[in-house]
Amino acid sequence: MLQAPDDIPACTTGSDSVCIHNYYNSLWEWVTGTDSTPGRALMKISVFRNRYADTVALSVLPGMVMVQMLLMGVISLYQIMSHKQSVLLTQIWAYRCQNGRMQVFYLAQITYHLIYNSDLYYVGLVTGTLTVESVANLTFSFFIFSYSFINLAKARSGEQQLDRYSRLTWETMQILITTCVAASLYSIRSQSLSWIVDYNGQLLRQTTTLGKKYCGLHDSCFLMHVNLAVVVAVVSTALGLTALSASYFAQKR
């Protein structure tokens, strides 16, 4: 498990830094007995560690954006149904929900949330201190970002027609993807994913040159290279291309 040495807290960078604290209680217990090596006694050591993070205010932005999406979907459906026209109402409703102007608003809010809280989520994943509330926020953020980002990319590509196969494939995948993301984050929330720092950051000490620049008054801090919003954008693009390929082959059958 990744941890700061001794009892030195490891913190995020920036003015609103959050620290992970480690406390150790070592108890040496001598055991009566002889060792296979002459003149050597047996000795046991038991080390107890307590870890806790600073209290952080819970952001409700991802949940509020989810409420906005559901509310606008209901309003759009009501507006279309009130016209009482003999058209494919479900198709038009889905088109308006996916390619409407509100998608830009949803994407902007979640992008801001991910950029601003990137280090906080990274530290939670790296040190195994991710809370259930953070898991919910990350799940909502991933769903909203991927759904809005791919829908906007498809709308801005010049394809303004109602693509039934693509829409159904993408929405079906979203159900599976969101479920997998939530289950995965919940299962690893107490595990230390130290490989994130190995590939996408470093643990700095205040005595180093970079540590003096980024850690401020803290003894150690995590410096992440790639923002979480970029990671989510790359994964969303890959999933969108997968959905596009699946719908293409479905139409060819």
Q: pTM above the 0.75 mark?
A: yes
For residue 227, being part of any structural domain is answered with yes
Nearest residue to 185 via CA among 239, 137, 150: 137
Most confident stretch, 75-79, 141-145, 190-194, 202-206: 141-145
Give the pLDDT band (50/70/90) at residue 52: confident
DSSP labels for 165-222?
HHHHHHHHHHHHHHHHHHHHHHHHTTS--THHHHHHEEEEETTSHHHHHHTTTSSEEE
Q: What are phi and psi of 216, to 5 degrees?
A: 65, -125
Sign of the dihedral through C-alpha 135, 137, 143, 149? negative
Eight-class DSSP state of 68: H
Range 188-212 average pLDDT: 87
- Reported confidence tier of residue 5, pLDDT bands at 50, 70, 90: very low
Mean pLDDT for 169-184 is 90
Query: Quick check: is 1 in a domain?
Result: no
From the CA atom positions of the chain, what is the Rg in Å? Answer: 25
- Give the structural domain span for 237: 10-23+58-252
In a domain, 170, yes or no: yes
Tell me whether residue 5 is in a domain: no
Q: Is 106 a domain residue? A: yes
Question: Do the Cβ atoms of 148 and 107 come closer than 8 Å?
Answer: yes
Number of domains in the chain: 1
Q: Using pLDDT thresholds of 50, 70 and 90, give the confidence band for residue 53.
A: confident
Q: Is residue 32 situated within a structural domain?
A: no
Band (pLDDT 50/70/90 cuts) for residue 217 is confident
Ranked by mean pLDDT, the top range of 52-56, 76-80, 94-98 is 52-56
pLDDT at site 54: 78
